């Protein structure tokens, strides 16, 4: 018999019953009346506020009641969440597609497996050698800048952390530039900002098979190795590679001492805690990177031990599932009110949509309910002048995470936080004054959460990033999908390789594709383009 829409495919009777219970609760329109929920429960704010470490989460302005939260926790229990968290934290298999653990949690522990500790000490030592000028570039020059060559999780995480902690860059540390997409204009821009003779190029790729990263590496090597005075050697090396594929790094000509390995069981979008974080070390130093790991470990311990009704990542995952599957809300916005966190939405977009944007469950069966929401965001104050109009008055309701930072307690920082709280309050309360222009009325009752950080230190940043990582893992457990594969991404890459192969071979007529793609390829290859405008 065909599965009804929005019903899980699991055989667990308890899970099916929990899902149906939530469907019944979602039919209650009073849940959408936030002002009434507060009026009927004077303890609502404290009841739905949780603090862990440097993060305070206020979830009181959400379309949830005690009955809804209880039913969501019932669903989590029926999905075996506690056991799955235990398996994740103990290095057991949680990636059934590859029969692997997910070692990013082990990677950030102070006391971890010997192999992970040895890898960590290696990339720490390589960074220290460059900082202390014990290792020079292939031109015999000290390193004064780093270029990270990588895409996806190999640059989004490091870019986010380096920007967030930019104020911690100390004397002797290096600015970091990012070469991600295959784009000649980006390559030219990066080279215009560096002295290539004094630059360390970090090739970041788990597989070292990513076409964009390999193309950019080849382009950079072509430039660097043809400059006068290029002399690679054990202590004169302009390239390092952060990868799980050491053989591929050797084929690129990078000596073993400059290969920074990490485990195959660390997924790319979860990898900033590993050698992929090497640019963070070069930018902010080992102490800063270690404190980042400690913050993440603190949040991991909370995730593994706190009861679900007081567990930050579990609550955030449960509310997102409530909105996606039972309230039928398809989008989710993340709005940091701090320019240092401007790259957080892009990082989270990949983390969530690549991890749980799945149409097949862990057994390969079709998933008949919605999974990942559409994730987007921007610096909060810039968003106010871009898409907040739709938040307040549009017919589509979008749950929002507001993220604020209390320190430094400057006038401008307070202004940011006041704006953040004003937007959260206005989304809830709206305006219904009939004396005003009726076109200006906003309905209110729009849900939002507030995450308030004490400061933006390495430790608090580590907590914030681990919070979202653990939230996404929780979503994957309850949606019954594999958090650690990305077959949709791989499919598009395979098609690109096929097209490129036929282009190189001059056999486009043999390419098995649709007429539209074939016609567009012919247009790209034609010489009918107009002359470019002169600047």
What is the greatest pairwise CA distance in the chain? Answer: 78
What is the end-to-end Cα distance of the chain in Å, rounded? Answer: 64
**Dihedral Cα 177, 181, 184, 190, nearest 10 deg:** 0
Q: Are 430 and 424 in contact (CB under 8 A)?
A: no
Q: Which of 21, 113, 392, 493 is catalytic?
A: 493
Distances (CA, A) of 366 to 176, 195, 369, 371: 43, 52, 9, 12
Residue 442 pairs in a beta bridge with 431
Q: Give me the residue label for tokens 């953040």.
A: 420
Task: Reply yes or no: is the peptide bond before residue 499 cis, omega within 30 of 0.
Answer: no
**Dihedral Cα 213, 216, 221, 226, nearest 10 deg:** 170
Backbone angles phi, psi at 268, to 5 degrees: -55, -45
Element (H, E) at 201: strand 199-204
Q: Has 493 been annotated as catalytic?
A: yes
Lookup: tokens for 269: 């979008």
Q: How far is Cα 421 from Cα 398, in angstroms, rounded to an integer?
A: 17
Q: What secondary structure does DSSP assign to 254-312, as a single string? A: --GGGEEE--TTS-GGG-TTTGGGHHHHHHH-HHHHHHHHHHHHHHHHHHHHS-GGG-H
Q: How far is Cα 336 from Cα 354, in angstroms, rounded to an integer?
A: 21
Q: Has 177 been annotated as catalytic?
A: no
Report the 10 Å Cβ neighbour count for 15: 22
Q: Has 385 been annotated as catalytic?
A: yes
Q: Which of 297, 354, 378, 469 is catalytic?
A: 354
Q: What is the DSSP letter of 328?
A: -
Residues 253, 255, 259: CA angle, nearest 5 degrees: 105
Report the 10 Å Cβ neighbour count for 349: 18
Q: Which of 385, 439, 528, 534 is catalytic?
A: 385
Q: How far is Cα 266 from Cα 427, in angstroms, rounded to an integer?
A: 39
Catalytic residues: 354, 385, 493
């Amino acid at each position: 018999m065909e599965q009804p829409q929005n019903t899980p495919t699991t055989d667990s009777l308890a899970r099916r019953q929990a899902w149906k219970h939530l469907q019944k609760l979602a039919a209650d329109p009073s849940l959408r009346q936030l002002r009434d929920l507060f009026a009927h429960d004077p303890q609502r704010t404290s009841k739905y506020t949780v603090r862990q470490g440097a993060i305070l989460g206020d979830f009181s302005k959400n379309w949830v009641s005690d009955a809804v939260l209880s039913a969501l926790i019932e669903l989590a229990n029926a999905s075996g969440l506690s056991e799955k968290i235990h398996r994740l934290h103990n290095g057991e298999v949680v990636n059934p597609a590859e029969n692997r653990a997910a070692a990013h949690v082990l990677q950030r522990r102070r006391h971890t497996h010997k192999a992970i500790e040895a890898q960590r000490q290696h990339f720490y030592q390589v960074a220290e050698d460059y900082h202390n000028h014990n290792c020079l570039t292939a031109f015999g020059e000290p390193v004064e800048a780093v270029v990270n060559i990588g895409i996806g999780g190999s640059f989004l995480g490091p870019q986010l952390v380096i920007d967030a902690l930019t104020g911690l860059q100390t004397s002797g540390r290096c600015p970091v530039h990012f070469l991600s997409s295959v784009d000649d204009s980006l390559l030219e821009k990066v080279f215009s900002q560096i002295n290539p003779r004094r630059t360390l190029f970090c090739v970041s790729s788990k597989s070292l098979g990513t076409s964009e990263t390999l193309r950019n590496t080849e382009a950079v090597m072509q430039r660097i190795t043809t400059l006068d005075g290029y002399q690679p050697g054990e202590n004169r090396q302009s390239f390092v590679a952060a990868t799980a594929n050491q053989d591929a790094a050797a084929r690129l000509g990078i000596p073993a001492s400059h290969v920074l390995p990490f485990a195959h069981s660390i997924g790319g979008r979860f990898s900033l805690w590993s050698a992929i974080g090497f640019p963070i070390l070069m930018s902010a130093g080992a102490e800063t990177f270690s404190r980042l790991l400690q913050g993440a470990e603190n949040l991991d311990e909370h995730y593994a031990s706190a009861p679900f009704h007081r567990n930050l990542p579990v609550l955030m995952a449960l509310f997102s599932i409530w909105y996606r599957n039972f309230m039928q809300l398809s989008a989710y916005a993340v709005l940091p009110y701090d320019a240092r966190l401007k790259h957080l939405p892009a990082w989270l977009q990949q983390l969530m949509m690549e991890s749980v944007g799945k149409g097949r469950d862990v057994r390969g069966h079709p998933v008949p309910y919605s999974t990942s929401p559409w994730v987007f965001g921007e610096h909060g104050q810039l968003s106010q002048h871009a898409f907040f109009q739709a938040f307040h008055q549009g017919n589509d309701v979008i749950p929002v995470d507001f993220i604020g930072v209390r320190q430094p307690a400057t006038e401008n920082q307070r202004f940011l936080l006041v704006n953040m709280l004003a937007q959260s309050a206005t989304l809830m309360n709206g305006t219904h004054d009939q004396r005003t222009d009726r076109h200006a009325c906003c309905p209110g009752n729009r849900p939002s959460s507030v995450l308030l950080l004490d400061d933006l230190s390495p430790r608090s940043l580590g907590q914030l990033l681990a919070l979202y990582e653990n939230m996404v893992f929780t979503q994957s457990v309850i949606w019954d999908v594999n958090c650690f594969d990305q077959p949709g991404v791989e499919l598009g890459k395979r098609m690109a390789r096929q097209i490129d192969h036929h282009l190189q071979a001059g056999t486009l007529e043999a390419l098995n594709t649709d007429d539209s793609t074939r016609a567009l390829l012919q247009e790209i290859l034609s010489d009918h383009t107009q002359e470019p405008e002169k600047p």
